[in-house]
Chain A
Amino acid sequence: MRTVNYFAKALLAACLVFVFCAAGSAQTLKLPPHEKIVLKNGLTLLVMEKHGVPIVSFSAIVKTGSAADPAGQDGLATITAGLLRKGTQKRTAQQFAGDLDFIGGSFDAGADTDYTTISAEFLTKDIDRGLDLFTDAVLHASFPQAEVDKLLAQSIDGVKASKDEAEAVLGTYYAGYLYGAHPYGRSGGGDELTLKRIQRDAIVKFYSANYVPSNTILAVAGEFNPAELKKKLEDAFGAWPAKSAPPVAIPVPSAAKGKRLLLVDKSDATQTYFEIGNVGVSATDPDRVAIRVVNTAFGGTFASILNTALRIDSGYTYGAQSFFQQQKVAGPFVIGSFTKNETTVPAIDLALKVLDDLHKNGLTQTQLDTAKKYIKGQFPPRIETSGQLAGRIASNEFYGLDDNEINQLEAKIDAVTLDSAKQIIAKHFPNENLVFVLIGKADEIRPAVKKYAATMDERKISEPGFWPPVK
């Protein structure tokens, strides 16, 4: 669409957020000070003053995400979050929208695999009204049946609409094919079949079990008087009844063995979209900083090894990148790109060759130095706004990472050497064992892509669900 600018060099910023979550600028980079308060009911509050514009940002984490969805009801955590604003004890959905929009506020809630996030922003002058809206939704959602039905119907159509865009659903097929029955293999937003099974009762049960103070972290950052704000927060959340939430146990996934390939047929595609990789590392892996440095050089920037090969030198694609999505337990490692139907094989061959070369040759000193400098140089704008800061301190708290995650990063980045990079490559970058997921015009590419894996599966994009096929 016209609002989307024709970027020369977009490298899928959304993915890169995961890649570059850690770095430090030479002299100045430090997380601004913030205070942690645990209320009697178990709610963890994080408060950070941040000046610049008169905005207050809320970022709450409920420590239960889509990985806790009951089998066959994929999407439950997402739907629950989506309904928070759709009717409360004192507001209808329409009233909530009216009150929120009137003050120009924002309110977004959604579920990741590991946790649910609820973020909101208001002007400082509207803090009381904003806090009232925020607590109303998080503490007093009422889940009217009509709104449940509406959101479920919309979400089912939303899944279908997303399948009209291969890029939008590639990651969901990839996670499903890589992780199989493991909770990380599910579609967080559900699919055409699982959403149909979700009942209001299950939503209410999920909400009352998990949206409890001891299972919640609330970070607030922005322009305010901290003493006054803390008082307001304690007043607003202090009476939230204490209750313990059921623990979420996510088993450690094992890496895929051998090679397998899923071909998703999209009959009108003129381009093949592919992801290749295996199970990666967790957000708390001791090697995480070194992994980021190596991946930045390999596939994390425009001039990276991967993009140089697939775009700059060959013109096969508009973009190629790699990333480790770091989650509570090992998230996926992904090499991703797209190319016209005719060059599907040469492009994938080349991606595999550069991965192979990485294992054989490691990085050069220049590549390593560049990656270090790049991460450090690009880090400050990632913690520039109150919204970014609130989100970051909340997720750090969730993963049990302290301020040194940022404050000592420069030192950790500097400690990576060519030798340690070599070890990181051998240990964390897959080579022999690979999972491939391709979305494209099957009739044109099927015969040629068989060579990549002994096992090849296929389905049509229009078939309900992602992977595995529903019986």
Chain B
Amino acid sequence: MRITKRLAVIGGFVCALGLATLASAQNEAQQFPVATKTLKNGMKVLVQSDHSIPNVALYIFYRIGSRNEHPGTTGLSHFFEHMMFNGAKKYGPGDLDKVMEANGGENNAYTTQNTTVYQDWFPRSALPLIFDIEADRIQYLQFDPKKIASEREVVASERRLRTDNDNGGLLDEQLWATAYIAHPYQWPVVGWMSDIEQWTMDDLKHHFEMGYAPNNATMVVVGDVTSDEIFQLCEKYIEPIPTHAPPPPVTTIEPEQLGERRLVVHKPAELPLLMIGYHVPKTNDPDFYALNILRTVLFQGESSRMYQRLVDKDQIALDVSAFVQPSFDPTLAIVVAQPKQGIDPAKCETAIYEELDKSKSALISDQELEKAKNIRLVEFYHEMRTINGRANTIGTYEVFFGDYTRLFDAAKNYSAVTKDDVQRVAKKYFGANNRTVATLIPDNEGKAKQ
């Protein structure tokens, strides 16, 4: 058993930036230490006490997602996320939600390419109950064929909602499927519809055994608790769960992309849509910070270069944005532009490339660099202002950077980014050979099918 109590404080981030030190000094309440403990079975637990509201946010991050799947069983991680609410031994089908709500709690979960994350939000009075529920479902999940059949339908409905009947979701799916030819990021988290319809009971059981080991999970608890009481609850409920082998490592490395890839989707639509994906490194990479600064300068706020160019000056797009999600393996930075009606998406494409080229051929300004750093600071505060935001952020740093204390180095790391770094990453990652361009073209008469 290993217990470490760190006095790493949220305020540390602020001081490191040399900003708002006065405000943070005034504010003792902001300084919440994180206590950590690794249970005998390998699960790491992180606790941050905050008594400002009588509530608790509890997150469990399992390091299993669609990257651990295979053709034929795509979407299993996400399906599992659903099944984890459908009954175990002590809390049978339907009981989990009923009992949790009857005690003032609620829950949710999300699945990504990399992780499956369970979230509970509840008044502190429900603390022992939540641990009882979590321990029950980690160990004794039921596999009732009737429940599986009905949940299959729910997941299919979710897929129709977010992908098949959503132009953005549909184009995004096609983009990943084209940008990756070897690595598992090529298939959708929700799964291909034919896989959703055909997983077998064996597939499900195997996936559960593989992914849901305590040593493959990290728990984060933030709110009206003490670390001692959480560690005691963990000893009682979580520690007895036996450890076993985690999912086998994902060994496939996506080969370097050697030329631009393009795809077109024709479907009935009011407006076209454009997405451009560039291969960028995994989250835990030294270029993470410079890439984030570049993204901020180019895409964030109405003063950003892309907004100024496409939305304000040329008036060819309704909006333009870019995002990268946390990842264990090299991923995509995706640019999304919503062209105005009657505008050829190619026009938006050209404008985006021209702005990217400017960030390669000349350094960004001092003012832009400082603005980007200020925006990152404010975003940090936004994540830190709720118990829920802190649980998610602490967990994300622990899981994707391998150490939650990296959260407290973020300011230093952003501070260290120079204009040259920004130019370097612009040149390194945003070339034509490294991009996949996806376009949705409205086809309201079904002409393209003929």
CA distance A386 to B438 in the complex (A): 41
- Using known A-B contacts A150-B315, A268-B268, determine if residue A8 contacts B385 with beta carbons closer than 8 Å: no
- Using known A-B contacts A7-B109, A157-B340, A160-B341, determine if residue A384 contacts B387 with beta carbons closer than 8 Å: yes
Q: Tell me, rounded to whole Å, the shortest Cβ–Cβ distance linking A312 to chain B.
A: 6
**Which of B267, B340, B444 is the most central at the interface, judged by chain A CB atoms within 10 Å of its CB?**
B340
Docked-complex contact B381 and A123, CB < 8 angstroms: yes
CA distance A54 to B388 in the complex (A): 18
Docked-complex contact B29 and A377, CB < 8 angstroms: no
Closest to A297 in B: B101
Q: Tell me, rounded to whole Å, the shortest Cβ–Cβ distance linking B165 to chain A.
A: 6
CA distance A312 to B154 in the complex (A): 8
With beta carbons under 8 angstroms apart, the residue of A54, A314, A369 that contacts B381 is A54
Stretch of B39-47, B201-209, B346-354, B372-380 lying at the A interface: B372-380
A5 at the B interface (CB under 8 A): yes
CA distance A49 to B29 in the complex (A): 14
B52 at the A interface (CB under 8 A): yes
Docked-complex contact A153 and B54, CB < 8 angstroms: no
Closest to A381 in B: B55
Stretch of B233-241, B251-259, B300-308, B397-405 lying at the A interface: B300-308
CA distance A29 to B53 in the complex (A): 8
B82 at the A interface (CB under 8 A): yes
Docked-complex contact B386 and A302, CB < 8 angstroms: no
With beta carbons under 8 angstroms apart, the residue of A98, A102, A301 that contacts B101 is A301
**Which of A5, A165, A311 is the most central at the interface, judged by chain B CB atoms within 10 Å of its CB?**
A5
Q: Tell me, rounded to whole Å, the shortest Cβ–Cβ distance linking A101 to chain B.
A: 4
Residues of chain B lying within 8 A (CB to CB) of residue A97: 301-303, 307
Of residues 155 through 170 on chain B, the ones whose CB sits less than 8 Å from some CB of chain A are 155-158, 160-162, 164-169
Residues of chain A lying within 8 A (CB to CB) of residue B341: 157, 160
A103 at the B interface (CB under 8 A): yes
A94 at the B interface (CB under 8 A): yes
Stretch of B144-152, B210-218, B284-292 lying at the A interface: B144-152
Residues of chain A lying within 8 A (CB to CB) of residue B19: 123, 125
Docked-complex contact A154 and B340, CB < 8 angstroms: yes
Query: Quick one: CB contact mask for B6-33 with A, threshold 8 Å, 1 for yes?
Result: 0000000010000110111011011000
Of residues 114 through 138 on chain B, the ones whose CB sits less than 8 Å from some CB of chain A are 121-123, 125-126
Q: Tell me, rounded to whole Å, the shortest Cβ–Cβ distance linking B157 to chain A.
A: 4
A269 at the B interface (CB under 8 A): yes
B143 at the A interface (CB under 8 A): no
Of residues 100 through 114 on chain B, the ones whose CB sits less than 8 Å from some CB of chain A are 101-113
- Using known A-B contacts A7-B109, A338-B161, determine if residue A55 contacts B385 with beta carbons closer than 8 Å: yes
Docked-complex contact B160 and A315, CB < 8 angstroms: no
With beta carbons under 8 angstroms apart, the residue of A1, A28, A157, A161 that contacts B336 is A1
Docked-complex contact A8 and B103, CB < 8 angstroms: no
Closest to A161 in B: B271
A71 at the B interface (CB under 8 A): no
Closest to B301 in A: A101
**Which of B103, B160, B325 is the most central at the interface, judged by chain A CB atoms within 10 Å of its CB?**
B160
B338 at the A interface (CB under 8 A): yes
CA distance A28 to B51 in the complex (A): 11
Q: Tell me, rounded to whole Å, the shortest Cβ–Cβ distance linking B192 to chain A.
A: 14
Docked-complex contact B162 and A4, CB < 8 angstroms: yes
A340 at the B interface (CB under 8 A): yes
- The tally of residues in A whose CB lies under 8 Å from a CB in B reads 80
Docked-complex contact B85 and A9, CB < 8 angstroms: yes
CA distance A273 to B54 in the complex (A): 38
Docked-complex contact A102 and B370, CB < 8 angstroms: yes
Docked-complex contact A370 and B101, CB < 8 angstroms: yes
Q: Tell me, rounded to whole Å, the shortest Cβ–Cβ distance linking B372 to chain A.
A: 9
- Using known A-B contacts A1-B168, A164-B167, determine if residue A316 contacts B157 with beta carbons closer than 8 Å: yes
CA distance A347 to B378 in the complex (A): 45
- Using known A-B contacts A104-B374, A381-B387, determine if residue A267 contacts B268 with beta carbons closer than 8 Å: yes
Query: Quick one: CB contact mask for A2-16 with B, threshold 8 Å, 1 for yes?
Result: 111111111000000
CA distance A255 to B416 in the complex (A): 62
A276 at the B interface (CB under 8 A): no
Closest to B443 in A: A268
Docked-complex contact B55 and A104, CB < 8 angstroms: no
With beta carbons under 8 angstroms apart, the residue of A4, A54, A163 that contacts B23 is A54
Docked-complex contact A93 and B312, CB < 8 angstroms: yes
With beta carbons under 8 angstroms apart, the residue of B54, B84, B157, B387 that contacts A340 is B157
Residues of chain A lying within 8 A (CB to CB) of residue B388: 381
Docked-complex contact B30 and A7, CB < 8 angstroms: no
Closest to B378 in A: A104
B69 at the A interface (CB under 8 A): no
Docked-complex contact A381 and B121, CB < 8 angstroms: yes
Residues of chain A lying within 8 A (CB to CB) of residue B301: 97, 100-101
- Using known A-B contacts A5-B112, A385-B385, determine if residue A376 contacts B165 with beta carbons closer than 8 Å: no
Jot down 6 A-B pairs with beta carbons below 8 A, ordered by A: A2-B325, A97-B303, A105-B378, A157-B271, A317-B154, A340-B157
List chain B positions with a Cβ less than 8 A from chain A.
14, 19-20, 22-24, 26-27, 29-30, 52-55, 78, 81-82, 84-85, 94, 97-98, 101-113, 121-123, 125-126, 149-158, 160-162, 164-169, 172, 176, 189-190, 267-271, 300-304, 307-308, 311-312, 315, 318, 323, 325, 334, 336, 338, 340-341, 367, 370-371, 374-379, 381, 384-388, 444
**Can you add 5 more A-B contacts, CB < 8 Å, to A51-B30, A94-B308, A104-B371?**
A52-B52, A302-B107, A377-B55, A380-B123, A462-B444
List chain A positions with a Cβ less than 8 A from chain B.
1-10, 25-29, 51-55, 93-94, 97-98, 100-105, 123-125, 150, 153-154, 157-158, 160-161, 163-167, 223, 267-271, 301-303, 308, 311-318, 338-340, 366, 369-370, 373-374, 376-378, 380-381, 384-386, 462
